[in-house]
């Protein structure tokens, strides 16, 4: 454990009337103040934990709420595109009167299409009476009407994909994609929130370090002014120390401005139960600075594969590729002939035979085959070429993302490990600066040094502590980027348990 000890030492030399005698230092109790890079440095009863930030983001952050709404919108689109495959009830009625024809016809039928099957099924009842001209294509039924049931199916190409099925399938993929887009929004927002949180913690640590340094100078200044009134110390010593007071006040002012900006930035992600923005103050700072982290060693191939599984961007690209595949199927169908088959079973109901060959309550089966061949296929060819180019372009985008991911992971491995290894050096520097400060303090007590050197040693000791803070900041900056690349920032509480 590294502790920086800044000793407030009051030098009380007895001065002769003409200030010619040697300065003697009275033995007084020093004012002891601790700077520690590892020991507690905050004193709040309540700490702002990262779990509170994450809860605020999930429940209040506008970008996340918009992504949730987009999920609902896409779910509504899926429901809307299911409409062509709902049950459909058809009813027809015909009444025709004239000098030649006198006809009535009623029909009611229920039909259901299946988007995952080439078959549509229907059933119903119809009845007619009188005489109907042939070109009206109305079926003359038995005197008591008939019940019928039938199937329609596409045998060659139409059943695999059509416009209505394409809209439904791709809207389902849009719904799935919106789930991944929500995860992506959370990943992006929480990554920025973690950066803001860590920046706030570091800014708070720097502010407290400068405040402690200023407190030492101000306490010494008050004591020196009292000694100066008693004639025990020269005026130059009072002015020399006051110069350091002014310098440290300016540093505190600058550090406060930096901390206030960090607090305002963090306030974007920190909200109360009513989703009102809350600006965190110094009292909410964690009591201890976090330890640096190292990334477990594993083969880069496994690391990339895990990142691909976790990163929402790759899942979004996969759904987009599937949508293009669906469009390619439709384009292919435009280039193929269509063969449609329909079969129907009728139960004719009659109480009177109208001819010798007509039987009461006759049963019959009807089959119909329809073939069509597109001759002008420009639309299908154009769509096929367009979708094929879109597919290759999306594959290139995915490959670029993979290449960038691999390179960035390797770079961040080095950055995290390098900053972690710098901790020992910063601790050594901190220990050395503390030893030099203590030695300088003893020299002042023995009358072998002055307040200029003591203030300089105090500044050096503080700077070594700030260097340690900067090492921590660099370590976490790289770690946050690493957790973004691997998708771990979707769950901040799991990724950074040290802040809970």
User: Where are the strands (E) in 306-439, listed by range?
Assistant: 338-348, 363-372
Predicted local confidence at residue 154, as pLDDT: 84
The pair of structure tokens assigned to 468 is: 């340690």
pLDDT given for residue 294 in this prediction? 85
d(CA 22, CA 24): 6
Class of residue 458 by CB neighbours under 10 A (exposed 0-12, middle 13-18, buried 19+): buried
Domain count, the chain: 1
- pLDDT for res 63: 92
CA distance 313 to 391: 16
> Cα 112 vs. chain centroid, distance in angstroms?
42
pLDDT (0 to 100) of residue 494: 93
How many C-beta atoms lie closer than 10 Å to residue 363's C-beta?
10
As a whole number of angstroms, the distance between CA 362 and CA 382 comes to 51
What lies within 8 Å, CB to CB, of 194 at 6+ separation is 50, 480, 483, 489, 492, 495, 496
DSSP assignment string, 58-94: HHH-HHHHHHHHHHHHHHHHHHHHTGGGS-EEEEEEE
Q: How many residues does the chain have?
A: 500
Say how far apart CA 318 and CA 32 lie, in whole Å. 63
- Residue 31 is predicted with a pLDDT of 29
* Mean pLDDT in order along the chain per 10 residues (500 residues): 32 31 30 33 64 94 93 94 92 84 88 88 90 63 86 77 91 95 95 96 94 90 87 83 90 95 95 91 90 85 89 94 93 85 90 62 88 81 91 94 90 85 81 82 74 82 89 92 93 92
SS (H, E, C) 440-484: HHHHHHCCCCCHHHHHHHHHHHHHHHHHHHHHHHHHHHHHHHHHH
Residue 90's pLDDT is: 93
Asked whether residue 479 is domain-assigned, the answer is yes
Element spanning 48, H or E: none
Domain membership of residue 55 (yes or no) is: yes
- What pLDDT is recorded for position 162? 86
In a domain, 85, yes or no: no
- Nearest-angstrom CA–CA distance, 122 and 148: 8
- Domain for residue 136, yes or no? no
pTM, rounded to two decimals: 0.78
For residue 452, being part of any structural domain is answered with yes
- Which structural domain range is residue 276 located in? 3-77+166-320+393-499
Query: Is residue 104 a part of any domain in this protein?
Result: no
208: nearest Cα among 478, 465, 1 = 465
Q: Is residue 132 part of a domain?
A: no
The secondary structure of residue 496, as a DSSP letter, is: -
In a domain, 122, yes or no: no
112 vs 100: CA distance, rounded Å: 38
CATH code, 443: 1.20.1600.10
> Which residue shows structure tokens 């996340």?
64
Q: How far is 138 from 128, CA to CA, in rounded Å?
A: 9
Residue 88's pLDDT is: 93
Nearest Cα to 227, choosing from 34, 5, 32, 23?
23
Coil, strand or helix at 207: helix
State residue 455 phi and psi, 5-degree precision: -65, -40
Output the CA torsion sign for 335, 336, 337, 340.
Answer: negative
Distance CA 304, CA 401 (A): 11
- 348 closest CA partner among 122, 94, 125: 125
């Amino acid at each position: 454990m590294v502790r920086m000890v800044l000793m407030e030492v009051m030098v009380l030399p007895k001065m002769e009337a003409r200030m010619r005698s040697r300065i003697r230092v009275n033995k007084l109790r020093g004012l002891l103040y601790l700077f520690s890079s590892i020991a507690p440095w905050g004193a709040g009863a309540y700490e702002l934990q990262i779990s509170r930030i994450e809860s605020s983001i999930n429940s209040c952050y506008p970008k996340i709420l918009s992504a949730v709404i987009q999920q609902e919108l896409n779910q509504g689109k899926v429901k809307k595109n299911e409409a062509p495959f709902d049950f459909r009830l058809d009813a027809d009625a015909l009444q025709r009167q004239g000098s030649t024809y006198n006809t009535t016809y009623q029909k009611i039928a229920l039909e259901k299409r299946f988007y995952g099957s080439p078959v549509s099924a229907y059933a119903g009842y119809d009845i007619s009476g009188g005489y109907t001209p042939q070109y009206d294509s109305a079926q003359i039924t038995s005197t008591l009407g008939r019940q019928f049931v039938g199937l329609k199916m596409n045998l060659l190409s139409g059943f695999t994909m059509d416009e209505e099925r394409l809209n439904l399938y791709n809207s389902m993929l849009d719904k799935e994609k919106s789930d991944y887009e929500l995860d992506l929004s959370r990943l992006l927002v929480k990554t920025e929130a973690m950066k803001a949180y860590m920046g706030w913690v570091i800014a708070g640590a720097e502010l407290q370090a400068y405040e402690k340094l200023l407190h030492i100078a101000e306490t010494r200044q008050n004591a020196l002014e009292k000694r100066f009134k008693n004639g025990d110390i020269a005026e130059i010593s009072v002015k020399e120390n006051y110069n350091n007071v002014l310098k440290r006040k300016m540093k505190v002012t600058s550090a406060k401005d930096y901390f206030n900006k960090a607090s305002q930035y963090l306030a974007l992600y920190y909200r109360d139960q009513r989703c009102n923005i809350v600006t965190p103050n110094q009292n909410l700072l964690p009591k201890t600075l976090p330890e640096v982290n190292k990334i477990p060693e594993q083969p880069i191939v496994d690391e990339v594969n895990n990142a691909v599984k976790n990163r929402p961007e790759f899942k979004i690209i996969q759904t987009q590729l599937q949508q293009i595949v669906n469009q390619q199927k439709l384009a292919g169908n435009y280039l193929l002939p269509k063969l449609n088959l329909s079969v129907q079973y009728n139960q004719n109901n009659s109480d009177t035979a109208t001819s010798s060959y007509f039987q009461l309550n006759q049963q019959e089966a009807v089959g119909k085959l329809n073939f069509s061949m597109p001759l002008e296929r420009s639309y299908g060819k154009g769509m096929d070429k367009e979708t094929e180019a879109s597919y290759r372009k999306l594959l290139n985008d995915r490959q670029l993302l993979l290449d960038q991911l691999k390179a960035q992971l390797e770079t961040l491995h080095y950055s995290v490990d390098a900053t972690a290894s710098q901790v020992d050096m910063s601790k050594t520097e901190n220990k050395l600066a503390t030893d030099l400060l203590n030695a300088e303090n003893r020299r002042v007590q023995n009358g072998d040094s002055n307040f200029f050197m003591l203030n300089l040693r105090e500044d050096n000791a503080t700077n070594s502590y700030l260097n340690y803070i900067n090492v921590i900041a660099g370590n976490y900056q790289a770690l946050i980027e690493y957790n973004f690349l691997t998708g771990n920032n979707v769950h901040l509480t799991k990724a950074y348990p040290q802040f809970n």
